[in-house]
């Protein structure tokens, strides 16, 4: 089984941010939901959800959906708001947690037809 890896590129700065979330290792063509939370689930240990663990919790905001191409997807794309703006990051900065939820009909540990990427902690700065 390939690891579903969520990573960030660019700086996490409010207003001046080329920040992008990139996920790889997905099924070749699947629907992907990028989302943000204000806290780490279960103090960072995550909670069982689908065929994986949900790491982002607290106040959760859906950033956007994408269709993976060759097992990869990114947010934001052309026409999307920047992550800090879509995620309502405060102007003073804040810590946010990011994760990707995707459809995966392959049988794994449970009968669930979805899974999650790893979680990612980001410190936004003014």
pLDDT in tens, the chain (126 residues): 456 689 999 989 988 778 999 999 888 888 899 999 999 887 877 767 666 777 888 999 999 999 999 989 999 999 999 999 999 999 999 999 999 988 766 655 566 666 788 889 999 999
Tokens of residue 48, six digits: 């069982």
* Residue 37 three-state SS: strand
Helical residues (DSSP H) of 8-124, grouped into ranges: 83-86
Which domain covers residue 37, as residue numbers?
A: 5-124
Q: What does each C-alpha distance from 12 to 1, 30, 60, 96, 123 come to in angstroms?
A: 31, 27, 19, 10, 7
Task: Please say whether the dihedral angle defined by the alpha carbons of residues 3, 41, 53 and 21, taken in this order, is positive or negative.
Answer: negative
Q: What is the pTM of this model?
A: 0.86
Domains identified in the chain, total number: 1
The CATH number assigned to the domain holding 37 equals: 2.60.40
């Amino acid at each position: 089984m390939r690891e579903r890896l969520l990573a960030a590129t660019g700086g996490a700065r409010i207003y001046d941010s080329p920040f992008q979330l990139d996920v790889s290792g997905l099924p070749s063509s699947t629907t992907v939901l990028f989302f943000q939370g204000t806290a780490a689930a279960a103090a960072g240990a995550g909670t069982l959800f689908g065929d994986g663990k949900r790491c982002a919790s607290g106040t959760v905001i859906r950033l956007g959906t994408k269709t993976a191409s060759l097992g990869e997807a990114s947010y934001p794309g052309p026409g999307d708001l920047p992550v800090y703006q879509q995620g309502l990051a405060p102007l003073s900065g804040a810590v946010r947690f990011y994760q990707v939820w995707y459809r995966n009909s392959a049988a794994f540990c449970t009968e669930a037809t979805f899974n999650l990427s790893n979680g990612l902690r980001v410190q936004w700065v003014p």
